[in-house]
Structure 1
Amino acid sequence: MKTSSRMGAWLLTLLIMLGGGQAWGKTPPDQLIIGMNMNNLLTLDPAAMTGNEVVGIVVNLYDSLVELPADNPSDVRPALARSWDISPSRDMLTFHLQQGVTFQSGNPLSAEDVVWSMRRLLHLNLAQASVWKSYGFTKNNIDSLVSAPDAFTVQIRLPKPNDPQLVIYSLAALGSLGVLDKQTVLQHEQNGDWGNHWLTTHSAGSGPFSLDVWQAKDVLRMVRNPNYWRGPAKLSRVIFRHFQESQTLRLMMEKGDLDVASNMAVADINALRSNPALTVDAVQKGTLYYVAMSMKSPEFSNRLVREAVRYLIDYQGINKALMPGYGELHQRPIKAGMPSTLPDPGYRLDVPRARKLLAEAGYPDGFDTTLRVLSDQPFMNIAIAVQSTLMQGGIRAKIITGTGNQIYGAMRERRFDMLVGRGGSGVEPHPHSNLRSLVYNPDNRDEAKLTNFQGWRTGFYDPQLNQMINQALLEQNSQKQIADYQAIQRRYDQLVPALIPVSQMVDSVVVSKTVQGYQPHPSATTFLRDVYKTESVPQEGGL
């Protein structure tokens, strides 16, 4: 009865919102209705955002200097910057801005807004500062490194040797440097917070849509910006609706009450594949599912034990039975599909070999441990499968479930034994993106608190590997750089790391065939400005 009441209330709200004369079962032709789980949508501030869900919203409220197209993410394209230069010394990026761009407030956009937006990222030092800090930017040096020589030129000096192309990829892929309307944001600043409190639930961008309404865990509505510098978007509104249950999303897609649905369970996605009015877009992400071990635990500090765990995971069985729609078999730290990515090493479940390794390590009867995991799918199913095969080798792992803060929080504090998780960045089309997140650990001391580096979280530390990663990043010869990254993968494999890749993430989105121009992006930066709808489902082979 309670579920029925909630559904009825939602239907009534949507009918009122869309207009009482709208025929039910068919969304308005000039509006896109997207169903998703909005539990992790906590802020709309580009500097503080976390998670793919908010990235897909922010990139439609704000513009960045450059963009990466969904069909070719390594092809950097102009956005607010019409062109850019890399200095011969490779330590200065110069961006030449479009002229005549205005924010949704009507204020003109200038280089000063770009500079202020980047300085704000580092001064706030919130979630999205992490990548920029890895390039050497800090709140102490950012003001001197980013400048505006004139109203339409932005210069970014790199604080330490880096691959400038990777920095440009980050500007395009992260969505964190959405350029903010400095004048508007400062009008809402409170106690020196750079407008963070206000921007949690408001927007101040130049993008194709502006924020109209956001009610947490309910509805978010964006409306067309009529003065958008590229020309008005084809849709008048985009409405995001919160649904926690995958079966509800499936029902709404089947009835035609939603145009797009994401965050669905694989069983429901598969049930919709045969629907002639719908299509399923599967996008491979750079993020990896993994089994991690803490080298602060005496058992896992032993290389032989880590190697035994390597042979106590049924990679093929997990990916065949549990991961369709969630991920694809992958056993390397660099994401698949890159020139530098080595073929998988082909690890398989081998219990006798694992038992022999455990005996050599001094654990002939195995040992007791804990395995932390999110209480969501597919994480929980992976953990149960891993627990079962660990038991065959004599490792008795007690599963501990919880929320993201409880599970990853313990990992960030280096207070865990084993963990099933997902990570790796991979948003930039560059090998360093995954290595930075999964492997690199420049300072293994507890007090270093490099919580964004999963190499540090696990306590996996190899000075030579760190040096190889630093050198590969700076290599200018492309063929030599590919060879360097392949050498990194071989050494990582030989060292028997504390983080074992199992599968590369696949994100499946269900889309009505009346929706045209919708391209899910591997970096979650799905642009909606050119999306439009037809009045009926196009016929196969039709005009």
Structure 2
Amino acid sequence: MSLIRPALLAAVLAMPLPALADTPADTLVVAQNIDDIVAIDPAQAYEFTSGELVTNVYDRLVQYDAADTTTLAPGLASSWEIDAEAKTITFTLRDGVTFHSGNPVRPEDVVFSLSRVVQLNLTPAFILTQLGWTPENVAEMITAGDGTVTIRYAGDFSPAFVMNVLAARPASIVDEVTVMEHAEGDDLGNAWLNANSAGTGPFSLRMFRPAELIRLQANADYFNGAPAIDSVIIRHVSESATQQLLLEQGDVDMARNLTPDQIAGLDGEALSVETFPQAAVHFLSFNQADAQLTNPAVWEAARYLVNYEGMVDSFLAGQMDVHQAFWPDGFPGALNDTPYTYDPARAEQILSDAGVELPITVTLDVINAAPFTDMAQSLQASFAEAGINFEILPGSGSQVITRYRERSHQAMLLYWGPDFMDPHSNAKAFAYNSDNSQDAYAATTTWRNSWAVPQEMNDLTTAALTEADPAARQEMYLDLQRQVQENSPIVIMFQAAYQVAMAQDVTGYVNGATSDFVYYRLVEKAE
């Protein structure tokens, strides 16, 4: 494998169609569409690719790491003490950690970082402000001690919920000294951090050219161990066909945005493909404002009228896996049982036993794009076998979502993803609706489908949010998932999957269920 000097490599990467050449042994070169990035400041970053960048450049007090994306582990905090009664968590900071600038990590940096998110109040701030933090009280809620930081929260929350909030993207810790050296007016360094970085993570940001290039440099002093690869270069390549060509020529080590057809056509001896479950769950739902859809027998029959395997074995191959619970696989506390299979005869019997008058004609709203239209056509064919006839109403994403928010649909084919890694993020959406009135809008699937959730389920969702015992809390969420799975007008069918193609000599790449769990720290390239 030939080596390319850094200057020459930069020139090659700038070319629209690079010449054929092996990538450097100590550098991972990635072809990826990165034009979704609006901001890379952790207090503002809210796009998929910016989430990946933040995760690799910054740390949080506690975090899910490349070594195990299902376990909340110490980050910049080496330990913590929880006082659930007083609603406080005291974190002891890890000794000897420095920012990429060489500045030591201080309790004051933590206070500054978290307070800064609240004060700037940009898009992801809501994740932290749900702890009761405001610009007026944040100085009292987050305080520095001697090597410690004490965090207070307001509200009836389980400490586990609070810990997951603190593991979310906007809770990333930045270098106060460096950031404030570059502050402009009252922006708290926002403009500078949208072009630079000031973290402690396994990589530092060495170059960022929007919609063109990201270059990350390994942090040899990283407290969890230096990355196995020296640098990562992410090239913006918008066309999947070009990504495939570059990968097959050896000009890049990894292609992140290939289509299923392209994946299927790759040379299996020269290249490998890894599939990673993603957080989005896809579901079919019935609006309970329509009287013909309120019989629980319709909900139950629907679960046996989805041709799950038929779809994932054909046009959804590599894009989705069968998943029938609201919390995604890959997250702690996910229910991975799949008790429902395609069984039209059983569905017919359920409807007959319940005395449901057939046929039923139902409009089905769907985003007018693949694979959603293909999924809708499959549902149309399979449901017709039991006398439920779908009239497909395709529309743009905004049109479909607007009808959903207005509750003007009959049936809806959509997907949902969590905002942060705590099961309450989805439990509130699928298992809670305390006020079903038309003027009580809530951004949940329950309210949007006019489903007045049984009071016992509402109570269990509230209780799970406040439960202090982690094991008991997890059991409560498993129970909620089973209840929604068995008896609700929301039929959860699939979990999205993501395929990444790479050279055979690349190992150790980790792509968890969200963009916040994309890690390059363990990547190696065989000699």
1:502 aligned residue: 493
* Distance across 1 between alignment mates of 2:43 and 2:435: 25
- Kindly report which structure 2 residues correspond to 1:104-143, keeping only aligned pairs within 5 A, or say none: 104-138=100-134, 141-143=137-139
1:263 CA drift (Å) = 2.9
RMSD: 3.8
Check the 8 A contact 1:373/1:380 in 2, yes or no. yes
Check the 8 A contact 1:426/1:433 in 2, yes or no. yes
The counterpart of 1:149, out of the listed 118, 122, 145, is 145
Q: Which moved more, 1:482-491 or 1:38-47?
A: 482-491
1:44 CA drift (Å) = 1.5
Q: 1:74 to 1:365 in 2, by over 3 A?
A: closer
1:331 aligned residue: 324
1:249 aligned residue: 243
Per the normalisation by structure 1, the TM-score is 0.80
- Residue identity opposite 1:511 in structure 2: M
2:158 aligned residue: 163
1:492 aligned residue: 484
* Distance across 2 between alignment mates of 1:202 and 1:418: 46
* Distance across 2 between alignment mates of 1:148 and 1:85: 15
1:259 CA drift (Å) = 1.1
2:344 aligned residue: 350
Q: Secondary structure at the match of 1:45?
A: coil
2:376 aligned residue: 383
Percent of pairs identical after alignment? Answer: 29
Q: Determine whether 1:60 maps to 2:60.
A: no
- Kindly report which structure 2 residues correspond to 1:17-416, keeping only aligned pairs within 5 A, or say none: 17=13, 24-87=20-83, 89=85, 91-138=87-134, 141-150=137-146, 152-172=147-167, 174-186=168-180, 192-225=186-219, 233-272=227-266, 274-295=267-288, 300=293, 306-307=299-300, 309-336=302-329, 341=335, 343-348=337-342, 350=344, 353=347, 357=351, 364-367=358-361, 369-373=363-367, 375=369, 377-390=370-383, 393-403=387-397, 405=398, 407-408=400-401, 411-412=404-405, 414=407, 416=409
* Distance across 1 between alignment mates of 2:238 and 2:277: 23
Check the 8 A contact 2:37/2:50 in 1, yes or no. yes
* Distance across 2 between alignment mates of 1:229 and 1:190: 32
* Distance across 2 between alignment mates of 1:203 and 1:298: 55
Q: 1:531 to 1:494 in 2, by over 3 A?
A: closer
Q: 1:182 to 1:381 in 2, by over 3 A?
A: farther
Q: Which moved more, 1:382-391 or 1:156-165?
A: 382-391
Which digits, 9 at most, give the CA deviation of each residue in 1:116-136, with x for residues without a partner?
Answer: 222233344444334445555
Give the unaligned 5+ runs of structure 2. 1-7
Per the normalisation by structure 2, the TM-score is 0.82
Check the 8 A contact 1:425/1:437 in 2, yes or no. no
1:534 aligned residue: 526
1:502 CA drift (Å) = 0.5
Which digits, 9 at most, give the CA deviation of each residue in 1:488-532, with x for residues without a partner?
Answer: 2343245423x3211123222223232343233344423323434
Q: Secondary structure at the match of 1:507?
A: strand
- Residue identity opposite 2:115 in structure 1: R
Q: Secondary structure at the match of 2:374?
A: helix
The counterpart of 2:446, out of the listed 447, 455, 467, is 455
Check the 8 A contact 1:304/1:358 in 2, yes or no. no
Check the 8 A contact 2:157/2:465 in 1, yes or no. yes
* Distance across 2 between alignment mates of 1:112 and 1:414: 47
Check the 8 A contact 1:294/1:417 in 2, yes or no. yes
Q: Which moved more, 1:137-146 or 1:74-83?
A: 137-146
Check the 8 A contact 2:485/2:492 in 1, yes or no. no
Q: Secondary structure at the match of 1:291?
A: strand
1:39 CA drift (Å) = 4.2
* Distance across 1 between alignment mates of 2:228 and 2:513: 23
